[in-house]
């Protein structure tokens, strides 16, 4: 494939309600989008999952935009022949920045699969046509408001609830949710908010029969997670720490995690995500697909990934309406707790261009 045109833009989508985590509150989602046109006129789309600020990971929208323009695009344009499979090796010399790299690989993959009339689900090796949905619930202003929000999601049909926790918002709110719904599959996510000395506190979560505790400690603290895993009965699941296949191999070998949250953007793209999935299947480790408040473009690709056989736990692959009044694509609508896996070519969704224009804050065509 040859790239004929590239267009970068940022959009701003308001969230249906503020989403508070231990690293801050999101009121709207700023998203960096890439449109890639091949010399045959085939268009591929992708979104970068970096947030506006470097608070979940070191990447952020303006930084990713600069890196993509300054280093990644010129390197790819200099290549003789391009396929999505060549992107990671071509960009290997630039350190880190998996989210920026994934943006290029995914747009190319979308265009490539559209050229080949193939769906992403088929290409990745999906064996399901619908996937079970979980929902991630932010830190609420009060326990009654938390219970009300969770009630709404359960009424909507979500089959697994994930509660965001942080010091001061953990044992009591989680206990209240568990008391209210004794049988609902429940898990918690700390986004690195605890420290090595918090083992006794986190062990108190064991009484609630949680599916897992996600990323309790700093992303670099693999030893701390391994020590914590000895102390708590609830399985530890790593998210931020797993930035590559190698990181996953290390964390498993060191017994720092027994479940893995796979987020394609965090690991450099869907191809690396499949490698981590395959490793986990071989090691008997369950995986699930995380979310980064994606629009329909990123959500479509995540739903395809979550249809692979090793994704045995419900992911944060919610309906579009969980976050957005209006999505930029045909929305993902949940039926009986499931989302249909897109079967169309490429990622199976395209943006509504008129709506996209109306929420675009910046747009730039790259000269080729
Ligand atoms: O369903 O898209 C979703 C959001 C799921 O909680 C979720 N994501 O740490 O996993 C996370 C968290 C997150 C949200 C991370 C926003 C980064 C930004």
Please give the distance, rounded to the nearest whole angstrom, from the Cα atom of residue 100 to the centre of ligand 1: 17
Task: Look up the pTM and report it.
Answer: 0.97
Work out the pLDDT band at 29, boundaries 50, 70, 90: very high
Q: 368 versus 15: which is more confidently predicted?
A: 15
Distance CA 269, CA 20 (A): 26
- For 244-255, b/e burial (b = at least 16 CB within 10 A) is bbebbeebbeee
Count of positions (residues) in the chain: 368
Task: Say what the pLDDT of residue 114 is.
Answer: 98
Beta pairing class for 24-38 and 360-366: unpaired
- 106-135 mean pLDDT: 98
Task: Say what the pLDDT of residue 305 is.
Answer: 98
**Where do you find CATH 3.20.20.120 in the chain?**
122-340
Please give the distance, rounded to the nearest whole angstrom, from the Cα atom of residue 24 to the centre of ligand 1: 12
Task: Say what the pLDDT of residue 368 is.
Answer: 87
- 313-339 mean pLDDT: 98
Please give the distance, rounded to the nearest whole angstrom, from the Cα atom of residue 316 to the centre of ligand 1: 8
Residue with CA closest to ligand 1 atom 5: 291
Q: Which atom of ligand 1 is nearest to the CA of 317?
A: 1
- CATH number of the structural domain 3-118+350-367: 3.30.390.10
Which residues are identified as catalytic? Answer: 164, 263
- 26-35 mean pLDDT: 98
Closest CA to 11 of 52, 43, 63, 42: 52
**Where do you find CATH 3.30.390.10 in the chain?**
3-118+350-367
Written as one string, the DSSP assignment of 191-254 is: TT---GGGHHHHHGGGGG--S-EE--S-TT-HHHHHHHHHH-SSPEEESTT--SHHHHHHHHHT
pLDDT in tens, 150-185: 999 999 999 999 999 999 999 999 999 999 999 999
Residue with CA closest to ligand 1 atom 3: 291
- pLDDT of 122 above 90: yes
Q: Which atom of ligand 1 is nearest to the CA of 240?
A: 9
- 357-366 mean pLDDT: 98
Pick the CATH number of 122-340 from 3.40.50.10330, 3.20.20.120, 3.40.190.10, 3.30.70.2470: 3.20.20.120
- pLDDT of 367 above 90: no
- 74-78 mean pLDDT: 97
Rounded percentage of the chain residues whose pLDDT exceeds 90: 99
- 118-147 mean pLDDT: 98
Q: Which atom of ligand 1 is nearest to the CA of 263?
A: 10
The interaxial angle of helices 143-156 and 171-180, nearest 10 deg, is: 40
Task: Say what the pLDDT of residue 167 is.
Answer: 98
């Amino acid at each position: 494939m040859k790239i004929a045109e590239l267009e970068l833009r940022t959009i701003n989508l308001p969230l249906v309600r503020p989403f508070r985590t231990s690293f801050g509150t999101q009121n709207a989602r700023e998203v960096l989008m890439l449109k890639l046109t091949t010399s045959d006129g085939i268009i591929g789309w992708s979104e970068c999952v970096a947030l506006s600020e470097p608070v979940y990971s070191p990447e952020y929208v303006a930084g990713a935009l600069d890196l993509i323009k300054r280093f990644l695009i010129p390197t790819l344009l200099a290549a003789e022949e391009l396929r999505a499979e060549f992107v990671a090796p071509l960009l290997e010399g630039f350190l880190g920045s998996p989210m920026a790299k994934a943006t290029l690989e995914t747009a190319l993959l979308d265009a490539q699969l559209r050229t080949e009339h193939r769906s992403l689900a088929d290409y990745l090796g999906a064996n399901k046509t619908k996937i079970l949905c979980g929902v991630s619930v932010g830190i609420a202003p009060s326990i009654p408001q938390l219970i009300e929000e969770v009630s709404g999601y359960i009424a909507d049909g979500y089959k697994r609830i994930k509660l965001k926790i942080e010091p001061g918002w953990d044992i009591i709110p989680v206990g209240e949710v568990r008391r209210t719904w004794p049988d609902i599959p429940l898990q918690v996510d700390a986004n690195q908010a605890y420290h090595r000395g918090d083992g006794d506190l986190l062990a108190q979560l064991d009484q609630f029969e949680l599916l897992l505790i996600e990323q309790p400690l700093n992303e670099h603290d693999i030893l701390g997670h391994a020590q914590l895993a000895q102390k708590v009965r609830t399985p530890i699941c790593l998210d931020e720490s797993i930035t590559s296949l190698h990181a996953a191999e290390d964390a498993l070998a060191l017994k720092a995690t027994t479940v893995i949250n796979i987020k394609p953007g965090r690991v450099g793209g869907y191809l690396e995500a499949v490698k981590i999935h395959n490793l986990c299947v071989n090691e008997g480790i369950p995986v699930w697909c995380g979310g980064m408040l994606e629009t329909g473009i990123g959500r479509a690709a995540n739903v395809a990934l979550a249809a692979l056989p090793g994704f045995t736990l419900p992911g944060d692959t919610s309906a579009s309406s969980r976050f957005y009044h209006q999505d930029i694509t045909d929305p993902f609508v949940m039926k009986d707790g499931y989302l249909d896996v897109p079967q169309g070519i490429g990622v199976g969704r395209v943006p509504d261009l008129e709506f996209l224009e109306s929420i675009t804050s910046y747009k730039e065509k790259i000269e080729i």
